[in-house]
Amino acid sequence: MKNSSIHPKLIRIEKIRFFGSGIIILLLINLTTGLSSCAKTDKSVDEAYQLRVNGKSDLAKELLSTIIKEDSTNAAAQFELARTLDYINIMGSPEATKALSAALKYDPKNVVYNYYNARTCFLKAYIAMEREGENVKNLINDVCNEYVKVLELKPDYPEALMYLVEIYGMLPENMGGDKNKAEKYTQKLEKMDKFYGAKARLVLMPEGTDMVKYWNDYVAENDKDFRAWKELGVANLYNDNIEAAKENFEKAIALDKSQNIRLLDLSRYHQIKVMQNRDAAEKELPEAKKYIKQYLASAPEPIPPLKAYAIGTLAKFEMFSGNNAEAEKLMEEAKSLDPYFSRAFGLPSLALFEPADKLDHHFSSFFSPY
């Protein structure tokens, strides 16, 4: 690619491959959860969740296995075990699939479990796309059916609708795309949620639409929505306007402190520059490091898995630069915080670290690196 400016509508499957396994692993790691029609998790399951969030996934796995051994019908424990195993293995495992199936069996109307399952189904389809495998269209159809099932349980779930808009609106017909269905879901979103209605409408706008102007117009009337400032920042990254993106993300962070993770997006922008041109490393890597260090020093303090991810990324930079001793030191520090931290290029989703009894409202596009 000659330019890092990538309009999401122009990202076809072959272009998505530019980001390689990092995006695939990002999607696998981004398996997330929430709650609508489910009872609160019991204290022991919550304790296991807390262990994982504190970088102790092995202990979480042991505790959950003990709970399930005593009562295999404990859907909450089965679900948290599935999340824990997915986190440990990154690429998933038969054991994780078995645990998720059990969670759905014993609590089939739980929005959390069904939403998580829909994203899991998408991963199978996405990997088939990457490998140019057959049956992609049927797999995508299965994914969409799972999201429809989620909406049958919770009709006013904007994120589930947004995934349907992206899948139907961005994929070509031979892979399951359907502009008419995308339009139908967009209209539903426009009546339900102003922000997601605007985000969905952008998917269906003509190629070449000025995304910066689009989101500038939106924030002019909705400047208290951190999500809109984040979208404007991403639009500016696509336009290679890093300074404007930084200002946009700063406004998002001011509205929602958890958006400090956007600092890692700024870092990844510079990393992509190096991926495109290794000769740019001397200029771009110091900038990438700067934003990671800002993230590590920001408030709220990153939880161990995210802190380890950031430090592990710094270790990769040092390795790339030939500073092996410093790279090893940083990698050991990251492992001490969380031995299973993500080694992927893409950011771990914040929703991955939400309690299992909280509805997931963190939207992570399948078709964008940011």
Contact 198, 153 (CB under 8 A): no
**How many alpha carbons fall within 13 Å on the CB side of residue 171?**
26
Q: Which two tokens stand for residue 256?
A: 């929602």
- pLDDT category of residue 129 using cuts at 50, 70 and 90: confident
| Average pLDDT value for residue range 147-159 | 98
| Average pLDDT value for residue range 169-173 | 95
- pLDDT category of residue 220 using cuts at 50, 70 and 90: very high
3-state DSSP call for residue 79?
Answer: helix
Inform me whether the pLDDT recorded for 14 exceeds 80: no
- pLDDT category of residue 41 using cuts at 50, 70 and 90: low
What are the pLDDT digits (tens) for 286-301?
999 999 999 999 999 9
Furthest C-alpha separation in the chain:
58
| Average pLDDT value for residue range 261-281 | 97
Buried/exposed 79-116: b ≥16 CB within 10 Å, e otherwise: bbbbbbbbbbeeebeebbeebbebbbebbeebbbbbbb
- pLDDT category of residue 93 using cuts at 50, 70 and 90: confident
Which 3-state string (H, E, C) describes 219-249? HHHCCCCHHHHHHHHHHHHHCCCHHHHHHHH
Q: What is the pTM of this model?
A: 0.88
In whole angstroms, give the CA distance from residue 54 to residue 338.
Answer: 8
Q: Report, in this order, helix, strand and coil percent for the chain, each rounded to 5.
A: 70, 0, 30
Q: Residue 15: its pLDDT value, please? A: 39
- pLDDT category of residue 226 using cuts at 50, 70 and 90: very high
What are the pLDDT digits (tens) for 187-203?
999 999 999 999 999 99
Among 65-69, 107-111, 146-150, 356-360, the minimum mean pLDDT is found in 356-360
Q: Residue 349: its pLDDT value, please? A: 77
Lookup result for tokens 């890692």 = 264
